[in-house]
Amino acid sequence: MKPAPQKYRTTNWKTYNEALKSSSTLLIWLDPTMNWHGQPSGKRGRGQTFSDEAIQFCLSIKCLFNLPLRQAMGMTQSLLHLAGLDWPVPDYSTVSRPQKTL
């Protein structure tokens, strides 16, 4: 016969509630010194508008929150706005092309 599961009694509700609230906080660190814009490559042709770090950040948001790519671009835009950064957000095609190689 299986033993009965042990019952726990919460005696300090204030600490318990604070622990529950702190376990569900979200922190996304955006470094203002991050290289968001692409650097000149020295090759012929048009240079890269956004850096690989910017594209990788957008793809990380996509994977982290399980979003379609266009919604991930919108969330990236709102995160940059909340952080007070006036960086442009890559469009869908800019992020979708290197998605398999980054």
Q: What is the pLDDT of residue 79?
A: 93
C-alpha torsion sign, points 66, 68, 71, 73: positive
pLDDT of residue 13: 84
Going from the first residue of the chain to its last (102 residues), give the mean pLDDT of each consecutive group of 10, the final group possibly shorter.
Answer: 78 84 80 86 80 92 93 94 92 84 74
Give the per-residue pLDDT at 55.
Answer: 92
In this predicted structure, what is the pLDDT of residue 28?
A: 85
Q: Say how many C-beta atoms besides its own lie within 10 A of residue 21's C-beta.
A: 9
Nearest CA-CA partner of 26 in 95, 74, 71, 82: 82
pTM of the model: 0.71
Rounded Cα–Cα distance for residues 1 and 7 (Å): 18
